[in-house]
Structure 1
Amino acid sequence: MRLYGGEPSRWRGAVYSDQTRSLGITMPANLTPAYHAAEQRYRAARTLEERIAALQEMLAVIPKHKGTEHLRGDLRARLARLLDELEQPPPGKRGAASPWSIRKEGAGRAVLVGPPNSGKSALLARLTGAGARVAAYPFTTEVPQPGILRVGGARIQLIDTPPLVAGHSEPALYGLLRTADVLVPVLDLGADPAAQLGELRAAVGTRHLALLAPGDTASSDGVSAKRAVIAATKADLPGAADALAELTAAAGSLPVVSVSAESGAGLDALSEAIFQALGVIRVFTKAPGREPDRDDPVVLPAGSTVLDFAAALHRGWEKRLKYALLWGASGRFAGQRVAKEHVLADGDAVELHG
């Protein structure tokens, strides 16, 4: 991008698209102060996560018209490269890698986010067995801590994060939130969780992030909407029921699951809600004459077919597949013969025949 001088004052400060210039068209980008502020943050960024957060903001606030087509394409390409680098840190750099650069694994990534001392680390420990530091004082967690949550055989990456405090959180935290498939706001039923939810929404909103109920469609242009499931912690405290009612009203369509890391109440329901929010299904393999293998499902996007299952199971299966036998909710009866195009449901067991 070049800045051209000598133009009328109403165009001064505009960035012009190489594409429109090559066509002999002079078209101003009319970039806003919000865009320039995000661009300054990008230029000043020191870490990968800070650059990602700034690029996301630039894309969110950039005007959408012909004059910015080339610039938007360039920003999207840069963002894609940085996200790939963040999500898949190159091998051989383990010692120098940022603690915020966590390799994705499992069926999806769910990130615990919330204010200080809301119970995020205790939840991670109970749900995954990961060795998170748990203490009664705030700011115990200084860097992200990953673990693996198992739900019906599916493996979900669950990450604990440092506290989200408006104006005082690590910038890299927002970069990590953008890589999440599901956000799990962790709110304390003993500390006005409805107000905590409002503060969290405002904090992520400053970085053009929003919480989206599973099944809803994002409507705000330029905002990265993340599916969310709220974990209302410390359900065994006095007055928790009243606080839960207030939180549920404030949450609107967002699902709220009441849990206690101390007693274990609600943990199974929270695990299932996180899985459902991912928008995936578990499909189990079955060998002829044997029971289905229920320990290691193939996890596929909802709406996947028998052919998708075969391709995910083993390279080459999709080419020699003739039909399949099916046991599960998507069939009319056990052992039904189905075609390649048959759409599968969560929990189906499939026996492939070539």
Structure 2
Amino acid sequence: MGILDKISEIEKEITRTQKNKATEYHLGVLKAKLAKYRAQLIEPSGKKEKGEGFDVMKSGDARVALIGFPSVGKSTLLNTLTDTHSESASYEFTTLTCIPGVIQYEGANIQLLDLPGIIEGASQGKGRGRQVIAVARTADLVLMMLDATKGEIQRKLLEKELETVGIRLNKCKPNIYFKEKKAGGIAFNSTCLLTKCDEKLVQMILHEYKIFNAEVLFREDCSPDEFIDVIARNRVYLPCLYAFNKIDQVSIEEVDRLARQPFTVVVSCNMKLNLDCLLEYLWEYLALIRIYTKKRGQSPDFEDGIILRRGSTIEHVCHSIHRSIVSVFKYALVWGTSTKYSPQRVGLQHVVNHEDVIQIVKK
């Protein structure tokens, strides 16, 4: 029996099994087996697959993977937002490889990857699904392009395909401490009341993974699926923005309903509607900020800002200018919303905000 057959059998058994207190341990073990087989499915085989790969060098300040079903408008969006040309037509699978483009917005260079359309079963290798999903794992954000005329069926199918290969969209990493040991058995503890998982279920899941010595600490009430994610160690947690295209072909009531959903923006690539809002959302979801530098006695350089991630410190600013600055750093003067007064004298660990002005003083 092949891996796909084993996965299918386990999925059927999970569907057949009633969910109650008596079956929770059995379901937990089944989910652990399913995760193991899926991990084997997405691991690269020894032989390289024939055909052109999607090796695209990461460049710019952030990378966005544009995924969706065929003919939803991915190539049209790339052509509209960037200077790159990607062939677009009314038939499916116009794009057969990964085409990169660069969005220039607020002084940042955002790399946008137009990927071939995903079909149902992509996680099992159908179409060019595995290559598309492999690129999506390297992105900073997933931009999921959907057809507004087809409702939310596409969204659920794509989420399922990405979930299957360990990509978690708009989710936080489970707050569970897990460490394998060489001896001592399984030491289990928790700092909160657990309602979805208990010590026996944790031990059964670990035994399924052939782990008999480990430390486990639940810092929040997590489910068995989240604990399996922690053990697997190959999960990717990415922000995702859902873009419903072709809003010019549906009613205004439907547009309003779609626009009110979380993590969602509605656009029309052909008529260039609401694309400015899409760019604002991309900036926000990528958590980008722009800071400016100034020399002593001179005005700030507002023409050439430095693009960083939200939560960056003065140390990150120094590294982005030149690696050697940290070794001769004395202090920095900061003007902006990150300070109590302007200018404020700060050290390397000071967190900067959007549009702060920074002057670095050397020893």
Same fold by TM (over 0.5)? yes
Bin for the TM-score computed over the shorter chain: 0.5 to 0.7
Matches within 5 A, 1:141-156: 141-156=95-110
Gaps of 5+ in 1: 1-30, 51-96
Q: 1:291 to 1:246 in 2, by over 3 A?
A: same
TM-score scaled by length of structure 1: 0.68
Write the mapping of 1:343-354 to structure 2, written as runs, cut at 5 A: 343-354=351-362
In structure 2, the CA distance between the partners of 1:39 and 1:292, relative to structure 1 (3 Å rule), is same
Q: Bigger relative contact order, structure 1 or 2, given CA contacts below 8 A and separation 6+?
A: 2
Distance in 2, Cα, partners of 1:278 & 1:43: 29
Name the one with the larger strand percent: 2
**Cα 1:40/1:228, change in 2 over 3 Å:** closer
Task: Output the CA distance in 1 between the equivalents of 2:44 and 2:101.
Answer: 33
**2:109 partner amino acid:** R
Structure 2: gaps spanning 5 or more residues: 1-31, 175-221, 230-234
Which residue in 1 is equivalent to 2:163?
Answer: 205
- Alignment map for 1:67-86 (pairs within 5 Å): none
Question: 1:235 is matched by which residue type in structure 2?
Answer: I
Helix, strand or coil for the counterpart of 1:322?
A: strand
Q: 1:186 to 1:172 in 2, by over 3 A?
A: same
Give 1:187's match in structure 2, choosing from 143, 146, 161.
146
- Please list, as runs of the form range in 1=range in 2, the aligned pairs for 1:315-330 lying within 5 A after superposition: 315-330=323-338
Taking structure 1 as reference, are residues 180 and 41 closer, same or farther at Cα in structure 2, changes over 3 Å only? Answer: closer
User: How many residues are paired up?
Assistant: 270
Residue 114, structure 1, aligned to residue 114, structure 2: no
Matched residue SS, 1:318: helix
**1:127-146 alignment runs, 5 A limit:** 127-146=81-100
CA distance in 2, matches of 1:133, 1:286: 44
2:259/2:265 contact within 8 Å kept: no
C-alpha contact 1:325 1:335 (8 A) present in aligned 2: yes
Offset, 1:139: 1.2
Distance 1:43 1:140, change over 3 A: closer
Quote how far apart the aligned CAs of 1:102 are.
Answer: 0.6
**By how many angstroms is 1:164 displaced?**
1.0
Deviation at 1:225, TM superposition (A): 2.7
CA distance in 2, matches of 1:191, 1:40: 30
Provide the rounded CA distance (Å) in 2 between the counterparts of 1:33 and 1:268.
42
Rounded Cα–Cα distance in structure 2 between residues aligned with 1:36 and 1:217: 22
Show the counterpart of 2:239: 227
CA contact (8 A) 1:284 1:349 kept: yes
TM-score under structure 2 length normalisation: 0.66
Q: Is the 8 A contact 2:295 2:359 kept in 1?
A: yes
Residues 123 and 333 of structure 1: CA distance in aligned 2, closer, same or farther (over 3 Å): farther
Structure 1 residue 315: Cα displacement: 2.3
Secondary structure at 2:354 match in 1: coil
- The 1:326–1:264 alpha-carbon spacing in structure 2 relative to 1, beyond 3 Å, is farther
Deviation (angstroms), 1:185? 0.3
CA RMSD of aligned residues (A): 2.8
Letter in structure 2 aligned against 1:231:
A
Q: Do the aligned residues in 1 keep the contact of 2:338 with 2:351 (CA within 8 Å)?
A: yes
- Which amino acid in 2 is paired with 1:292? P
State the Cα distance separating 1:235 from its structure 2 match: 2.7
Determine the C-alpha separation between the residues in 1 that align with 2:42 and 2:54. Answer: 19
Deviations 1:202-234 (A, max 9, x none): 222222323116xx5557342433211111212
